[in-house]
């Protein structure tokens, strides 16, 4: 779950919602 927390912080230009959807599609949460 660390990725969900790190992604939005590392990429402030991209909204957390987009990051979350991306990780959900290609991540273990799929």
**Residue pLDDT, tens place only, 11-23:** 556 566 666 666 6
Per the CB < 8 A criterion, the answer to whether 23 and 3 are in contact is: yes
> Which DSSP state fits 5?
H
State the total domains in the chain: 1
Please say whether the beta carbons of 13 and 7 come within 8 A.
no
pTM: 0.20
The pLDDT confidence band at residue 27, using thresholds 50, 70 and 90, is low
Query: Residue 4: which residues within 8 A CB-CB, separation 6 or more?
Result: 19, 20, 23
The DSSP code for 14 is S
Average pLDDT of the residues in 3-29: 61
Region 1-30: mean pLDDT is 60
Give me the domain span that covers residue 30: 1-30
- pLDDT of residue 10 exceeding 50: yes
């Amino acid at each position: 779950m660390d990725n969900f927390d790190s992604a939005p912080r590392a990429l402030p230009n991209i909204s957390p919602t987009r990051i979350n959807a991306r990780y959900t599609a290609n991540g273990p949460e799929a």
